Structure formats: structure tokens, C-alpha cells
A and B are shown apart, each in its own frame.
Chain A
Amino acid sequence: MDLRDEGELIRRLQQHDEKAFQKCVKLYQTKVYGLVYRMLGSQAEAEDVSQEVFVTVFKSIDSFRGDSKFSTWLYRIAANHCKNRIKYLKRRAHKQTGELDDAAERELLGSSSSTLGQQQASPVEALEGLQLGSIVQRAITKLDEEHRLLLVLRDVEELSYEEIMQVTGLAEGTVKSRLHRARLVLKEEIARHTK
């Protein structure tokens, strides 16, 4: 979407145009859901939080001044919702590590086997892919929320440092050092699980 189209979409969103809003959801749902799912590690929570993100977009669209890209603004809202949900779940002593439900396992199976560059993985390979995907996702959810966010934004969503700074409000040096630490912790977590 080019800037003119994005500007037009935002203008229509500010007029509470339902069709524009549906278009906005369709355009950005993969990005939002992807971030939220990787942050929370649960399909049910991700669906719920994604809805809340778009409701917040609807409520706050008038406050969008266009200082950053719309997608960056959207990521910031999603990140804040994720942090709030993580805190809420922690308070409820939610068992996040055991939350990968059947659908998530199926999704992990699909994505992990596709990374092996195979059209049809054997059951053993598929199981290995599933296990690795599951281990990686669980390792992500073991990280603290700030590290998790940076890791997902940079290494999963592939945002630039500039965009990450806008999303998180952190300085460049802080982003990079925390990202470095997050990667090290993730590596240790994965190594612990695969031993």
C-alpha cells in the first residue's frame, strides 16, 4: 500500500467508515495476529488480543497524527496490548508453557516442515519439525516481555531498527543491547530443551 492509499484509508477510518475499517483489518490482520501470537504463544489469547487491538485502533484513530507509518502505530498498540495481557496472565498464574493447543501444534507442524524445504515431509521429519517449532515458541514465551517483543519485531516480523525504536520508544543502543541479550537467552533456552 502506497502512502496516498494509506492516507486515504486513514481519512476514511477517522470518519468511522465501516468498509474502510474492514479493509484495514484485512490488510493488517496477518501482521497483528503474527506479532500477538508469537508474543503470547496461544491461539485463543492471540485471537482475543488481536480483536482488542483493532477496537483500540478504531477508538484511537483520531489521535494518529501520521508522525510514523500506520503499521508502526498499529504495532505499538499491539505491543502494549500484549504486555498488558502477559501481565494479566501472570497475575492469574496462567500456565503459558503448556498452552500450545492442537491448532497451534498443527500450525507449527506446517511451518516447521515448510522450512525444511520439503513439499511432503516424512512423519519422523514432520515430528522433528513440530518439536523444534514447539521448543522455539516455548523458549520465546520464557523470555521476559521486553526481550520477547524485540526478538519478535526484529527476527520474526523483520522490522528495521528505526521502526522498532518507534514501536517501543527505546533508544537505538537499548534496542540493540536488549536484542542481543534476548538472542543469547533464547539460544540458551533452546539448548536446554534440546539436550
Chain B
Amino acid sequence: MSEQAGTKSAASDPAEGEVPGAAHGSLEDEQTAAETRSLLAGLGTVAPPTDLSERVPQLIERRSRGRFFGRRKLYERIPFVWVSLVMLIVAALLYAVMRLAPSVMSSP
């Protein structure tokens, strides 16, 4: 569909009123359209954030309080860092108890 056709029907739009020069679909209108298009085409495409496809499901999960996209597998739900820390503390405590135990037991 040409811009010329567009400007012709524009003149009959009651909300907008008469568009100057539109009724004749003048060369000037075509020129304005072409100029604007080339200017705006020059802006190019903008790249969205790379992690948008991950952020949106997380947002949905958070807002739905885990109702949607919240059914994670068992290994995904375990906080491995904290589990490791707890295991280290338990091991250290056991070691300490075992070291102290003979001296406590042998004392009078």
C-alpha cells in the first residue's frame, strides 16, 4: 500500500481534520515518508538483554510463589553450598569429640 493512498484517506478522518496537501497525495508527502523512514531505519535494531528469557520465568515463578515454573528437580532444590558447610562443621565436631574422648574417659 502506498503512502499516497494513505494520505488520501487521511483527509477524510474526522478526528484529525484535513491534512495539508494530503488530498492530492503530493510528492512532498512521499518525500517526508521516505526521509522519515531512512532516518528511523538508521537507528538500527537494539539488542535486548541476553538473560531476558531466564529473567522472565524467574519473575513469573516469584510472583506466582512457585505455582508456575517452580517445580524444580530435587538436585536443583538442594543448597549444596550450605550442605557442604554443615558437613564440614559436623566432621570437625566429630574429630574434636574423638580427640577429647580418651582423655575425658581416662581421667579420674
Contact = CB atoms under 8 A, between A and B. Distances in A.
A77 interface: no
A55 B59 contact: yes
A32 B56 CA distance: 13
Interface residues of A, number: 54
Interface in A129-171: 132-133, 136-137, 140, 151-152, 155-156, 160-161, 171
Classify chain B's interface size: 35 or more
21 contacts: A16-B69, A21-B57, A29-B53, A30-B48, A38-B43, A47-B49, A111-B42, A133-B42, A136-B40, A155-B41, A156-B40, A156-B41, A171-B13, A177-B7, A177-B10, A177-B16, A178-B16, A183-B32, A183-B33, A183-B35, A187-B36
Nearest to A160: B1
Contact of A180 (B1, B6, B46, B63): B6
Interface of B: 1, 5-7, 9-13, 15-16, 19, 22, 29, 32-33, 35-37, 39-49, 52-57, 59-60, 63, 68-69
A47 B48 CA distance: 8
Nearest to A17: B69
Contacts of A22: 53-54, 57
B69 to A, nearest CB: 5
Contact of B37 (A107, A112, A155, A177): A155
B45 to A, nearest CB: 6
A110 B43 CA distance: 9
Contact of A115 (B13, B22, B44): B44
A186 interface: yes
A174 interface: yes
Contacts of A55: 56, 59-60, 63
